[in-house]
Structure 1
Amino acid sequence: MASTDASPGRFHVKAGRLHISGDWVLAHHGVLKEQVAAQRCGAGESSDDQAVDLSGLTGLDTAGARLLVALLGAERMEDVARWAPELPKARQALLETVARVLREPLEPEPPRRAPLTDWLVDVGERVGGLWHQQRLLLGFIGLTLTALLTTVLRPWRWRVTALVAHVHQTGLNAVPIVALLTFLVGAVVAFLGATVLRDFGATIFTVNLVAFAFLREFGVLLAAILLAGRTASAFTAQIGAMKANEEIDAIRAIGLDPMELLVLPRLLAMMVILPILTFIGMLCGILGGAMVCIFMLDISATQFLSILQRDIPLNHFLVGLGKAPIFAFLIAVIGCLEGFKVSGSAQSVGEHTTSSVVQSIFMVILLDAVAALFFMEMGW
């Protein structure tokens, strides 16, 4: 916006009026800055009632605008369109913008903290977030149990079709992957156990190791972790997409309860299918261990089955199977809760889907560890 003749900017007072003319551009910034500083030192802050004439201004850029703001004051330059209407609109806008920016106070630099302090603050924030998250989970569990008890007493409100559909989606489609994974883990456990027990001449106890591991822990734990990654994420994504599309608000608007319509069928489907998958996982894990015993340890199938029948009591099977409904309840509740927490964007759906998987797996492993300690102390 500079003039073609490029005359240096200048200002002078004539008849009580401040006349500003020439090019106020970066090329003349050094000279103009000295003149403005001398003027301000000699005359102090420019008077608000002193008339100013900008008609002789032939060139202006950001550097010159900053000097004019320093000369005339930021408050006055923000109102330049009123007292200098002859000035082109572009130059008025430039002066107003520079004056507005210079008036805004700079954000103070945050004080530096020691690395230990930053770490402690981060730990505190994470603990606070975890506490808030657990409070939400407890509240949602209460809502779920209330809706479940209310619906159980009203059979005409049972949604059997939705329940069957979710059983098929969450359970039957997961049977192949659960069976394959537990079979392979059973084979690995048997192989590692035999490797260690061979040094003591006790490879026969590999049968007991595989049976104890899968009846008490691995069968239910592997099935629960697979469903936490496969199904809890699906629950969160489905409900989160409905939340983002305002379908849940529409459900409430027509008088339906989202807990009854969306949460209970998924919850009951999980509680039905996880014990079944746990049983399948136990069988396939023991079968994988049996394959290793038969083909690598010279333990016949008849001997393997007789050891199972003689040395493995029924309570190990009941302990493992009894944990399945509790794990299923937690996985379903966490997956549905994270879906309801979606804010409305695709990024939020992804974040809460990831959170539901992490929380579900963490809670399953934590509860399994607590249950293992409890059963050990009880001698079960």
Structure 2
Amino acid sequence: MPLSPAFNPPDTQDDPAFRLTGDWCGAPVQPVGESLIRQASTLPEGAFDLQGVRRMDIAGAWAVLQSLGPGSDLSRVRGKPEHLRLLEMVAAADAARPKRRVGPGPFRALLERIGRGVIGIGAETYGILAFAGQLMVVTARSLANPSRIRWAPCVSMAERAGLDAIPIVVVANFFIGAVVGLLGVNTLRQFGAEVFAVELIGIAVTREFSIVITAVLLAGRSASAFAAEIGSMKMTQEVDAMKVMGVDPFEALVFPRVVALLLTIPLLTFVATVAGLMGGALITWAMLGLGPSFFMTRLVENVGDTHFWIALSKAPVMAIAIAGIGCRQGMLVEGDVLSLGERVTSAVVQAIFAIFLIDAVFALIYMKLDL
């Protein structure tokens, strides 16, 4: 029958020993152990007599060690050999436990975060350059030997990543053109120059919105899909199996996706331009009474096709950026679902950032060229 744990405080100053009795095991140890720790703190040099202890587990040993205070001087403990060995084991385990580190101050934490960010940017830049170099090698090898190109995946990817995106591209750019027309008409009406809304719609849609909105939609649609597809293959070790069989993953997975977007994004840009102009023409017709024929005539005479070709010149660069970022993030996926989700998110964010950066660079170039 188990005996409740108990202890007797020192009787005399000549023998300041706490005498423990009973079974120092399990849950009953906690209240008795807390009382022992409180009383032992008043006698820091007190000894502990465990001769009356019948059984002891880790909970009981831990209560005794806490009563001994910092350092846990086991020379102050008398008891059975098995109890002393248990105390030594628990004391050694406590000493080997990693100590809680004190966090750095706020200023140091800020500096460390900035440093990690700088290192991360450097590592990311190096990874992007390495990926781009490998893609260029594969592209040159494929162009030198066209029989290596896998045309079936290219066509399939072009259909899924490009042609299937036509409805959403048309709808989005139609409403963008309508919004630009609405804002242009309301703003220019204050100056009695509503008719110039045609030029505003033509330049804004053909030069900027058609390619940028199309590229952003492809970044959210295709870049994420590329990262998820290749990432899933990485998780199931299909990419490793391709390497074992002598198949270059860049030739089989990355290059067809880049070619697919290169082929489809100019078509999507043209469709987006037409849809945006239709939305703007509808607004000018409804608000100003300018018919479609007048809209097109003024568009051709005063806007021309220069802005459309400027937008189209951005398409290949954005296509390579979107496909490359999506495929690279897919290649970086590790063996868990959390990594897959992080890489898909990174693919979309980086692709959208790259689109705006490319657009800004082209704007500066054409501004210097006075185009």
**Which band: TM-score by shorter chain?**
0.7 to 0.9
Q: 1:145 to 1:35 in 2, by over 3 A?
A: closer
Q: Percent identity over the alignment?
A: 35
Q: In 1, Cα distance between the equivalents of 2:246 and 2:73?
A: 57
1:256 alignment partner, SS class: coil
CA drift of 1:127 comes to 3.2
Task: Tell whether 2:109 aligns with 1:113.
Answer: no
Q: In 1, Cα distance between the equivalents of 2:87 and 2:130?
A: 55
Q: 1:219 to 1:55 in 2, by over 3 A?
A: same
Task: Tell whether 2:323 aligns with 1:332.
Answer: yes
Q: Which residue matches 2:13?
A: none
Q: In 2, Cα distance between the equivalents of 1:68 and 1:300?
A: 95
Q: In 1, Cα distance between the equivalents of 2:277 and 2:7?
A: 93
CA drift of 1:29 comes to 5.1
Q: Which amino acid aligns with 1:378?
A: L
Q: How much is the aligned-residue C-alpha RMSD, in angstroms?
A: 3.2
Q: In 2, Cα distance between the equivalents of 1:167 and 1:378?
A: 33
Q: 4+ runs of 1 displaced by more than 6 Å?
A: 72-77, 91-95
Q: 1:250 to 1:5 in 2, by over 3 A?
A: closer
Contact 2:162 2:265 in 1 (8 A): yes
Q: In 2, Cα distance between the equivalents of 1:94 and 1:226?
A: 66
Q: In 2, Cα distance between the equivalents of 1:229 and 1:379?
A: 33
CA drift of 1:66 comes to 2.9
Q: Which residue matches 1:256?
A: 247
Contact 2:61 2:90 in 1 (8 A): no
Contact 1:178 1:277 in 2 (8 A): yes
CA drift of 1:19 comes to 12
Unmatched 5+ stretches in structure 1? 12-17, 47-52, 78-82
Alignment of structure 1 residues 81-120 onto 2, 5 Å: 84=81, 96-97=89-90, 99-104=92-97, 106-114=99-107, 118-120=109-111
Unmatched 5+ stretches in structure 2? 11-16
CA drift of 1:221 comes to 0.4
Alignment of structure 1 residues 118-137 onto 2, 5 Å: 118-137=109-128
Q: Which residue matches 2:335?
A: 344
Q: Which residue matches 2:21?
A: 22
Cα deviation 1:17-61 (Å, max 9, x = unaligned): x998514544265457756985x7489xx9xxxxxx967422546
2:279 alignment partner, SS class: helix
Task: Tell whether 2:180 aligns with 1:189.
Answer: yes
Cα deviation 1:178-232 (Å, max 9, x = unaligned): 0010001001100100000111111111111111111111110000000000000
CA drift of 1:293 comes to 1.2
Matching residue within 152, 161, 171 for 1:180: 171
Q: Which residue matches 1:80?
A: none
What count of residue pairs does the alignment treat as equivalent? 354
Task: Tell whether 2:226 aligns with 1:221.
Answer: no
Contact 1:29 1:64 in 2 (8 A): no
Q: Which residue matches 2:62?
A: 66
Q: Which amino acid aligns with 2:21?
A: G
CA drift of 1:64 comes to 3.8
Q: In 2, Cα distance between the equivalents of 1:138 and 1:311?
A: 42
1:8 alignment partner, SS class: strand
1:342 alignment partner, SS class: coil
1:58 alignment partner, SS class: strand
Q: Which amino acid aligns with 2:318?
A: F
Q: Which residue matches 1:279?
A: 270
Contact 1:267 1:329 in 2 (8 A): yes
Contact 1:62 1:98 in 2 (8 A): no
Q: Which residue matches 1:154?
A: 145
Q: Which amino acid aligns with 1:22?
A: T
Of 26-35 and 332-341, deviating more is: 26-35
CA drift of 1:121 comes to 3.8
TM-score for the superposition, normalised by structure 1: 0.83
CA drift of 1:128 comes to 2.7
1:326 alignment partner, SS class: helix
Q: Which residue matches 1:15?
A: none
